[in-house]
Amino acid sequence: MSAAPPGGHAWDGGVRGWDVYYGVILLGVLALEIAVQAQQNLPATDLVIACGALAAMAPWYLLHRRTVLYGESSLARGLIYLAGVWILFAIACSRGSIETWVLLALCPQCFLAVPFRWAVGAIVVLNLTPVVVALVSGAGADELSTLVASGALTVAFSVAFGLWIFRIIAQSYERASLIEQLSRTRTELASAHRRAGVLAERQRLSGEIHDTVAQGFTSIIMLLQAVDTDVERQPAAARRHLALAMETARENLAEARALVAALAPAGLEPGSLDAALRRLTAAVGAERGVAAEFEVTGAACPLPRPVEVMLLRVGQEALANVRKHAQARQVLVRLRYAEGQVGLDVTDDGVGFDPGQPAGGYGLPGMRARVDEAGGCLDVRSSPGGGTTVSVLVPAPSTVPAAPAGPAAPAGPAGREMP
């Protein structure tokens, strides 16, 4: 039987048990042999030879112990061990009378030392040996029939028991292999989840940086360019642009600190979404010199923090696009509360674009990703020369209707009426 070193499986831990079992059987047979020889008053030479052969099995076992118990050696070494055992057993049988009892220890060793088929052959040979010795010594028919029946019963029991044990061990090896595969699979899944988490976090951070720090730097650059243009001709306008640039830099710094600390967006406290959007709208109006207006409609209700963050980021990105690309004269930002949902519209009267054309950059794809993650929908309506409207609609908890907030005063210069 091929087995792994101790510690790998349950059946590998009974090494001392086999030693004790074999020692008890061997000592018991030796004691019975001495008692029977003394009772029958047989020649002392036979007693010495029989007991000597039985006693010699002990050092022979210790010499080949690792072969027997661990199956570490080749088939040849296992067969050598069993051949030596058979010789000693045959000598003991030729001079003794009860040596067959030692087969209780020798038969299990056959399964331990060699593969199953070889073990069955070795058991048959060991059980035939007392029959052959009795036949050569001229034993009577009764004694022969008893030995044959005993040997056949021993062989049948040993083979059946050994087959059962082998099947149990085979099933245990199979289960151990399945457990190992499951452990590897679990490790691989954990690694995949970690990689997916890292990728998702990178995407989240890239969106946060794009919507906050990068947009803030863009505003600062545009304001400083305006300062450079107006510093000599219009000092008051240059100072106003410089003040806006400093304010934008402070806000950018706060956003960066919040991002590093993994906090909510700076300036966005619970229930302050409208205030944050109002400030963003006012900043765009002051920076670009356009009529920028913010209003809230419907019954305001508390929103989950992820929804508030999503709406704020979408508003930031939409207003950044107005600032950079729209060339608009008027901008309207509307936060709409309705039963079970909340919406955000950013409308400008700028140059517009063709939504059917592939969009470059991260802006629109980033907004869509944020809205999809929140379970909402994003709609972009625009046409060349016809302005642009970015609309977001997302589910939100319903609340008791409250008095709708009126529109805020325009944050920039007055302009024509927006839709």
pLDDT at 405: 44
Is residue 413 domain-resident?
yes
User: Residues 1-50: pLDDT tens digits?
Assistant: 444 444 455 545 556 777 888 888 888 888 887 887 777 776 778 778 88
Q: Which of 76, 105, 139 delimits the end of a domain?
A: 139
Is residue 224 domain-resident?
no
Is residue 401 domain-resident?
yes
CATH number at residue 393: 3.30.565.10
pTM comes to 0.43
Q: Which of 139, 156, 191 delimits the end of a domain?
A: 139
Q: Which of 99, 121, 139 delimits the end of a domain?
A: 139
Burial class of residue 333, CB neighbours in 10 A (0-12, 13-18, 19+): buried
Residues 52 and 46: their CA atoms lie apart, in Å, by 10
pLDDT at 271: 56
pLDDT at 360: 61
**Cα dist. 143→149, 154, 173, 210, 415 in Å?**
10, 16, 44, 99, 125
Across residues 215-219, what is the average pLDDT?
Answer: 75
User: Residues 109-168: pLDDT tens digits?
Assistant: 888 788 888 888 888 888 888 888 878 777 778 777 877 887 788 788 888 877 887 787
User: Residues 137-146: pLDDT tens digits?
Assistant: 777 787 778 7
Confidence band for 377, pLDDT divided at 50, 70 and 90: very high
Is residue 95 domain-resident?
yes
Is residue 190 domain-resident?
no
Confidence band for 408, pLDDT divided at 50, 70 and 90: very low
pLDDT at 402: 40
Is residue 116 domain-resident?
yes
Is residue 268 domain-resident?
no
What domain range is 52 assigned to? 10-139
Is residue 67 domain-resident?
yes
Name the average pLDDT for the chain.
78
User: Residues 386-401: pLDDT tens digits?
Assistant: 889 999 999 976 543 4
Amino acid at site 398: S
What total number of domains does the chain contain?
2
Q: Is the dihedral of CA 186, 188, 189, 193 positive or negative?
A: positive
